[in-house]
Amino acid sequence: MIKVYCYAKCTTCKKALKWLDENQIGYELADIKEEHPDEKTLRELYQRSGLPLRKFFNTSGQLYRSMELSKKLPDMSEDEMLALLASDGMLVKRPLLVTDDKVLAGFKEAEWNEALK
């Protein structure tokens, strides 16, 4: 089963969901603000993704900028970063696509096409 963590007001999330619908790919939707992944889940997703942990941060978000995380992340441990991500879903890059064998942060049509078709 495919799970997609999204934020309803996010235009990139809307594009991703439209793409899934147009390609007739079923998914379970989770509101990243209300149902954001906890620290244990984020650790598992991060390990499965093969991505650097920094890729899980929504660097264009207001919260990220207001917390000045671009300056703070380089000095944070992996555990500290995961705890921070788990503290507020708005810090997590979205949409976050989770399948049985893939985890993708953000929507890049070519990546999603390769992962899902």
Predicted pLDDT at 34: 93
State which residues form the domain around 24.
3-116
Structure confidence by residue, pLDDT tens digits, 49-61 = 999 999 999 999 9
Task: Give the pair of three-digit tokens for residue 35.
Answer: 């149902």
Predicted pLDDT at 87: 97
Q: What is the CA radius of gyration of the chain?
A: 14
Count of structural domains, the chain: 1
| Whether the Cβ atoms of residue 96 and residue 46 lie closer than 8 Å to each other | no
Structure confidence by residue, pLDDT tens digits, 37-90 = 999 999 999 999 999 999 999 999 999 999 999 999 999 999 999 999 999 999
CATH of the domain at 106: 3.40.30.10
Spacing of C-alpha 77 from chain mean position: 19
Provide the whole-model pTM. Answer: 0.93
Task: Look at residue 21 and give its three-state secondary structure.
Answer: helix
